[in-house]
Amino acid sequence: MSFSCGIIGLPNSGKSTIFNALTALSVPCQPYPFCTIDPNVGVVPVPDARLAGLEKLLGPEKVVQTTIEFVDIAGLIKDAHKGEGLGNRFLSHIRNVDAVAHVVRSFSSGQVPHVYADIDPARDMEIVETEIIISDLEIVEERIKKIERLAKVSKEKGETEVELLLRVRRYLEAGRFVDTDDFDENEKQVVRTFGLIATKPLFYIANVDEDGITSAPVGTVENAAKKNGREVVYICGKLEEDLGALPGEERASYMELYGMKEISIEKVIHVGYRVLGLVTFYTIVGKVMRAWTIPEGTTCVKAAGKIHTDMEKGFIRAEVIGADDFIACGSEHTAREKGLLRLEGRDYIVQDGDILHIRFNV
């Protein structure tokens, strides 16, 4: 199962620049042809200090990182729900992703004109998110009408679905994205089938000037993020794109010049991974070490199925140790002696950073 994050925003907000910076970090990136209609897709490895520590300690012949898919979606403009710009073609691309990264222009550049002439993050954010909410509201209204029409000629009432749709509609009519925490797990499964953008987790990317978060418009993005309980990443997209294109040593020199301890684009990857509610576990089999992505709350038996269906079917138990404990001990033998390696059953909830050794019957 691949998890994806769509990069959205107004035209000339820096979406494609940030996408290019992301995919420059990726060896297994698979970009599709980009034009004004089709989205650009890149599969990006998730930076993982634990995996690097395990690799240094064990020296496996092959290391497989976990990945996240980023989708660069064409710019949205006002009245897209009415068909302006790419209209519903654009919106349909957003509906296919699992989370949304909203790029907000917070930089000034005479070389890159703003689609609305001046820099105003509050206005830009409202335009993009209002278009999404209106489009979703139209879908909800049409779905309610369809269920009501079917109810007149069928015994299927669809009462549960209508009740959920009405709850969702109240959020949208209030001009808000849907807080899915207000729904239980079964309800969430049904709500996901609606294909609504406003039910997806969203975070902001403030695309700033090279002087960083001292830029005046950034406070607007920060306030909006706090108000809506969302995360925000500050990044100079052009600088990151340029850094990603440099050889390692030259990149390090430039980072030192700018006082950068890390490539900021990596924060986008980590936040995207986090808002998707994902965790990483590891397997070490022979000379291959691999990181795996699963949703939070996944049981051990389901994690085994992620590796191979036979492991899920014949699951007996799992030997589990935290990657940090393993690295601190230096070996599995020492970890066993200290009692840090334990046996877990099929209902154990896998934690971020677990190393699993699955025992199963063939």
Least confident range from 233-247, 300-314, 323-337, 344-358: namely 233-247
Is the pLDDT reported for residue 89 higher than 60?
no
Per-residue confidence (pLDDT) for residue 316, from 0 to 100? 96
Residue type, 156: E
Within this chain, do residues 125 and 229 fall inside the same structural domain, yes or no? yes
Q: Edge to edge, what strands does the sheet with 342-344 contain? A: 62-64, 288-295, 278-285, 354-360, 315-322, 342-344
In this structure, are 218 and 354 located in the same domain? Answer: no
Backbone angles phi, psi at 332, to 5 degrees: -65, -35
CA distances from 236 to 23, 114, 142, 218, 265 (A): 16, 16, 41, 12, 9
pLDDT surpassing 50 at residue 31? no
Kindly state whether residues 218 and 308 are assigned to the same domain: no
230 in a structural domain? yes
* 268 and 337 belong to one structural domain: no
Whether residue 301 is contained in a domain is answered as yes
Higher pLDDT, 114 or 319: 319
Query: CA–CA separation, 259 vs 316, rounded Å?
Result: 51
Most confident of the following: 37-51, 104-118, 205-219, 251-265: 37-51
Secondary structure class of 15 (helix, strand, coil): helix
The CATH number that applies at residue 104 is 3.40.50.300
Q: Are 139 and 45 in contact (CB under 8 A)?
A: no
For position 153, what pLDDT does the model report?
A: 65
* pLDDT, tens only, 260-276: 777 778 888 899 889 99
Number of domains the chain contains: 2
In a domain, 285, yes or no: no
CB 206 within 8 A of CB 271: no
For residue 103, the cross-strand partners are 205
Please report the pLDDT score of residue 150 as a whole number: 80
Q: CA-CA distances (angstroms) from residue 250 to 37, 240, 244, 255?
A: 36, 13, 10, 9
Residues 36 and 172 in one domain: yes
Helices (H), the chain: 15-24, 49-58, 87-95, 121-153, 159-173, 185-192, 218-227, 237-244, 248-257, 265-275, 300-307, 309-313, 323-329, 332-337
74 and 106 inside one domain? yes
Domain contains 280:
no
Which CATH number characterizes residue 316's domain? 3.10.20.30
What's the confidence (pLDDT) of residue 243? 82
289 domain residue, yes or no? no
Question: What is the signed CA dihedral for 267, 271, 272, 276, rounded to 10 degrees?
Answer: 160
Q: Is residue 235 located within the same domain as residue 305?
A: no
pLDDT band at 88 (very low <50, low <70, confident <90, very high): low
Q: Does residue 154 surpass a pLDDT of 70?
A: no
- State which of 245, 275, 305 marks the end of a domain: 275
pLDDT at 193 over 70: yes
Per-residue pLDDT at 32: 33
Confidence of residue 210 (pLDDT cuts 50, 70, 90): confident
The full 3-state SS of 225-284, as one line of letters, equals: HHHCCCCEEEECHHHHHHHHCCCHHHHHHHHHHCCCCCCCHHHHHHHHHHHCCEEEEEEE
Look at residue 86 in the predicted model and tell me its pLDDT: 47
**How many Å apart are CA 131 and CA 77, to the nearest integer?**
8
Predicted pLDDT of residue 157: 54
Residues 174 and 311 in one domain: no
Report how far residue 18's alpha carbon sits from residue 12's, in angstroms, rounded to the nearest whole number.
Answer: 11
Q: Are 238 and 317 contained in the same domain? A: no
Q: Which pLDDT score is estimated for 338?
A: 94
> Would residue 81 be called left, alpha or beta, if left means φ above 0 and alpha means ψ between -120 and 50 degrees?
alpha
> CA-to-CA distance for 183 and 192, rounded, in angstroms?
11
Instruction: Determine, yes or no, domain membership for 354.
Output: yes
The predicted pLDDT at position 113 comes to 60
Mean pLDDT computed over 113-119: 70
- Amino acid making up residue 177: F
Q: Does residue 159 sit in the same domain as residue 34?
A: yes
- Token pair 């998730």 is found at 46
Alpha helices in 59-120 (DSSP H): 87-95
Angle between helices 248-257 and 237-244 (to 10 degrees): 150
Q: Tell me which residue range forms the domain holding 61.
A: 4-275
pLDDT > 90? residue 257: no
pTM above 0.75, yes or no: yes
Whether residue 282 lies inside any domain: the answer is no
Residues 214 and 324 in one domain: no
- Same domain for 301 and 249: no
In the predicted model, what is the mean pLDDT of the chain?
Answer: 84
Residue 160 token pair: 């549960």
- How long a stretch of residues is the chain? 362
Identify the domain boundary among 242, 275, 308.
275
φ and ψ of 310, to 5 deg: -65, -35
On whether residue 307 sits in a domain, the answer given is: yes
